[in-house]
Amino acid sequence: MAEQSRTNVVEGAPLGDLGRRLATRRTQLGLSRRETAARAGMAPSYLRYLEEHPGAAPGTGPLTRLAEVLKTTVNDLTGGTVTLPPGPGRAARAPEFTELSPQECRSLLSSHGVGRLGVPTASGPVIVPVNYSVIDDAIVFRTAQGATPSLAAGCQVAFEVDHIDDAFSQGWSVLVRGHARTVSDPDEERRLASRAYSTPWAGGKRAMWVCIDPYTLTGRRITV
Q: Over 90: is that where the pLDDT of 104 sits? A: yes
Predicted confidence band at 111 (pLDDT cuts at 50, 70, 90)? confident
Q: Is the pLDDT of residue 94 over 90?
A: no
DSSP the chain: -HHHHHHHHHH----HHHHHHHHHHHHHTT--HHHHHHHHTS-HHHHHHHHH-TT----HHHHHHHHHHTTS-HHHHTTTTTTSPS--SPPPSS-EEEEPPHHHHHHHHTT-EEEEEEE--TTS-EEEEEEEEEETTEEEEEE-TTSGGGGGTTSEEEEEEEEEETTTTEEEEEEEEEEEEEE--HHHHHHHHHH-S---TT-S---EEEEEEEEEEEEEEEE-
What is the predicted pLDDT for the residue at 2?
35
Q: What is the pLDDT of residue 24?
A: 87
* Cα dist from 151 to 120, 135, 172, 193, 196, whole Å: 7, 21, 27, 21, 21
Please report the pLDDT score of residue 187 as a whole number. Answer: 93
What is the reported pLDDT for 50? 92
pLDDT attached to residue 149: 94
> For all residues of the chain together, what is the average pLDDT?
85
Q: Where are the chain's structural domains? A: 2-77, 96-223
pLDDT score at 6: 34
- CATH code for the domain defined by 96-223: 2.30.110.10
CATH of 2-77, one of 1.10.260.40, 1.10.1740.10, 2.30.110.10, 3.30.590.20: 1.10.260.40
pLDDT at residue number 16 = 62
Q: Given a cut of 60, is residue 145 above it in pLDDT? A: yes
Instruction: Give pLDDT tens digits for 21-77.
Output: 899 889 888 999 999 999 999 999 999 999 998 888 888 899 999 999 998 888 888
pLDDT value for 17: 84
Tell me whether residue 19 is exposed, middle or buried, using C-beta atoms within 10 angstroms of its C-beta: 0 to 12, 13 to 18, 19 or more.
buried
Cβ(67)–Cβ(90) under 8 Å? no
- Average pLDDT over every residue of 67-91: 76
**Per-residue confidence (pLDDT) for residue 165, from 0 to 100:** 77
Q: How many CB atoms lie within 10 A of CB 52?
A: 16
Comparison of pLDDT for 63 and 2, the residue scoring more: 63
Which of the two residues, 78 and 161, has the higher pLDDT score? 161
Please report the sign of the dihedral spanned by the C-alpha atoms of residue 47, residue 73, residue 30, residue 201.
Answer: positive
Residue 169 confidence class, pLDDT cut points 50, 70, 90: confident
Alpha-carbon gap, residue 81 to 23, rounded angstroms:
17
